[in-house]
Each structure stands twice: as C-alpha cells, then as structure tokens.
Amino acid sequence: MQIREFCDIQAEGRSPYPFINAIRRSPVSCGNQYCKGRIFCFRIARKDLPEIQHLAEIYHIKLTVSYPESLIGRCKKYKFRIGIPLGILLSVLVIFYYSNTVSVIEIQGTELVKNSVILSLLEEEGVSQGTWITDIDMNHCETVLRVKIPEVAWAGIRSDGNRLVVQVTEEKAHIPMVHERTPCNIISRYNAQITDVRVYSGQLLRLIGDGVSAGEVIVSGVISDDAGHVSYRHALGSITGIYTQKAELTAYFTDTRTEQTGRRITQKWFQLFNLKIPLGLRRPDYTEFSQKEFYTPFCFSGHTLPAGIFRRTTSEKRTSVTEHSEDETLLALNADIVR
C-alpha cells in the first residue's frame, strides 16, 4: 500500500497532443505515461488534479480518474479517528511488553533434578513468569543453581524472545568397574618397608616386613596354581608401609584475607546504541570492590533492538590482616604435618 495519494487518469479526445504539451509546460509532475490510440494515460499526485481538470476543459479532453488505495486516503476515509493511532500504539506496547517479559521458563538437560526445584530457586531470586528480562541477573542465578543443587555441574541461562531457557548439565554417575581379562597389578610408589597388608583380590608377592622398591609389584593380577592354570584379576587391596618423604612447609606470621562483606549495589543505564542514560542516582562508595557488567537488549516480536538495559553490580570487599604469635605459627605447621 502506498502512503501518498495518487490519481490514475485516462485522457481521451480528438487530438490529445496539445493537452500533453500543456501538461509539460505546467508544474505538474506526471508518471507512468503512455499512449493507447487517442487515449493518454498518466499518474499524478491527487493535489494536482484540479490543475489537470482545468487544462482538460480548455482543450476539450474527457478525463477518467481512478484513485489507487493509499494510507493517507484510508485515514481520510475514516476521518482520522483517534482510535486508530491509539489502537496501533496499544498494539505496539502490548507486543513490546510480552517480548521483554518472561512468559515461559524452559528447563533443559535435567534427569536427576526435578524442574520444580530449579523453578523454586529461581523464584527465590525474583525470576518467574511476568518478570522483566532486563531485571534478571543471569550470572547470579547460574551461580545459585550450581551452589545450591549438588547434582548440577554446570548451569546456563539465556533469553530467547519471551522464553527463559535454563540449560543444566548434571554430575555424571560413577561408572562401575567392568571385569575384563586384562590383569591389574598393585605396585609400590615409594621405596618402603611393608607394615600392613590387606588383599581382597589378586596374588600377594611381598609379606609384612619386606622392603620394596618404587615400581615393584606387590599384588599381582595374574594368579597361577600348581596345575598350571592361569587366571586374570584386577588386583585390589590396601598396602601400608614406612617410607621417607621430604616436604617443605611454610607458615607466615601475618595472614591477609580478602572477603566479601555481602553489601552490593546494582546500577542501571538505558543504552541506545552507544548512548547510556542513567536510571538512578545511586553510586557505590566502597573502598575495595569487585564489579560485574552485562547488557540485556530489548526485543520486539522476536527481533533484537539496538536498545536495552546495561547493568553493573558492585560488591564490597574487605581485606583484613591477622598477626600470629610464634606459638600459633608452630601449631599451624604441626597441623599441616599431621595432615
């Protein structure tokens, strides 16, 4: 549909050429011009129609006028009623609202963890149906899911239109040992003297009190009997021994720690292209802090707009220095030796 109003005109007469020359001398702009016998067809803007009708009367030309459909013509037909632009504006606002609020929370990758557990944790963080997507701290929600659900190894949250997609990777269950015909031996890691032996599977080659070298087989997975029969096992047991190991332990008389205090401030800006307009006057006054920044664009009917909310979260940190006495430092070293 065209926006401007045009007229398609067919001019018919005995000799249309004087009429055509008169149009060319006039300020009227014509388009789509062609001749069909004694009929001259052309298109003009509707505001120029009175000028053409005046020339047609002078040169005794019969005009046939048709009006193609246009946006301005339709608005004139409805006399520019206020309900039409209000309805259009309301429709745009409704589409914009539902494009930037959470309508569906879709959880992917769960087998052990129930979806209701994830939804309840997200609801505690203020994320539910109807929440503005630009108000969701997705990095913080991902951390909450990983910390509070032991079965979750990784979590990722993203927005896809008005859908909030939560992708979860669960901890893999331990694969049970498979018995095969490949023998497995227990060997010594250090040069040591054996003090205790407990063998559950395999053939013991060294006894209590024997000395072994690093890399020497203590329990073999190859078992043979007097008849010459050979069987293969995965050697399994517990071998305890005495060995010498050198280690260096260090302890300091001063202990410096940096911890989060729990105070944090979230600042927001409305970002249009590279222009940022602050949405508040709060500013952090922390001496030590860490910051996280992320940007959430607005969407309209599934399309990303060049505007959105830029968010910066500032968390306060505090560094404390603790001095230890000589006795406390020695106790810490002895505790490390015991461990």
Tell me whether residue 249 is in a domain: no
Contact 296, 281 (CB under 8 A): no
How many helices, marked H, and strands, marked E, lie in the chain?
Answer: 7, 19
Check residue 294 and give its pLDDT: 86
Tell me whether residue 25 is in a domain: yes
Structure tokens at 41: 């067809």
Contact 52, 23 (CB under 8 A): yes
Check residue 149 and give its pLDDT: 94
Structure tokens at 100: 């930037």
**CA dist 16 → 8, 31, 49, 60, 266 (Å):** 17, 17, 17, 9, 76
Same-domain check for residues 239 and 258: no
Question: How much is the mean pLDDT over the chain?
Answer: 87
Closest listed residue to residue 163, CA positions, set 245, 101, 115: 101
Looking up tokens 């497995």 gives 184
Share of the chain above pLDDT 90, in %: 39
Closest listed residue to residue 328, CA positions, set 253, 241, 225: 253
Q: For the chain, how many structural domains are there in total?
A: 4
Contact 235, 186 (CB under 8 A): yes
Tell me whether residue 159 is in a domain: yes
Same-domain check for residues 270 and 306: yes
Give the C-alpha separation, 182 to 205, whole Å.
19
Q: Is 192 helix (H, G, I), strand (E, B) or coil?
A: strand
Give the C-alpha separation, 15 to 12, whole Å.
8
Same-domain check for residues 160 and 193: no
Tell me whether residue 33 is in a domain: yes
Give the C-alpha separation, 65 to 155, whole Å.
67
Check residue 192 and give its pLDDT: 93
**CA dist 234 → 44, 129, 177, 203, 229 (Å):** 95, 54, 10, 10, 17
Is pTM beyond 0.85 here?
no
- Report CA 182 to chain centroid distance, whole Å: 47
Structure tokens at 4: 């401007």
Check residue 182 and give its pLDDT: 67
Same-domain check for residues 191 and 147: no
Range of the domain at 305: 254-323
Instruction: Express each pLDDT in 46-81 by its tens digit.
Output: 889 999 999 999 888 899 999 888 877 777 766 656
Check residue 336 and give its pLDDT: 76
Check residue 105 and give its pLDDT: 93
Closest listed residue to residue 253, CA positions, set 318, 326, 177: 326
Give the C-alpha separation, 104 to 128, whole Å.
9
Q: What is the CATH number of the domain that holds 46?
A: 3.30.70.600
Structure tokens at 50: 């009175």
Check residue 197 and give its pLDDT: 94
Beta bridge partners of 154: 169
Tell me whether residue 82 is in a domain: no
Tell me whether residue 93 is in a domain: no
Instruction: Express each pLDDT in 248-297 by its tens digit.
Output: 888 888 988 899 998 999 999 999 888 999 998 888 999 999 999 989 88
Structure tokens at 230: 């050979």
Tell me whether residue 293 is in a domain: yes
Tell me whether residue 262 is in a domain: yes
- SS in 3 state form for 100-168? CECCEEEEECCCCCCHHHHHHHHHHCCCCCCCEHHHCCHHHHHHHHHHHCCCEEEEEEEEECCEEEEEE
**CA dist 45 → 35, 39, 61 (Å):** 19, 19, 19
Same-domain check for residues 218 and 239: yes
Same-domain check for residues 153 and 111: yes
Regions in the chain scoring below 50 on pLDDT? none
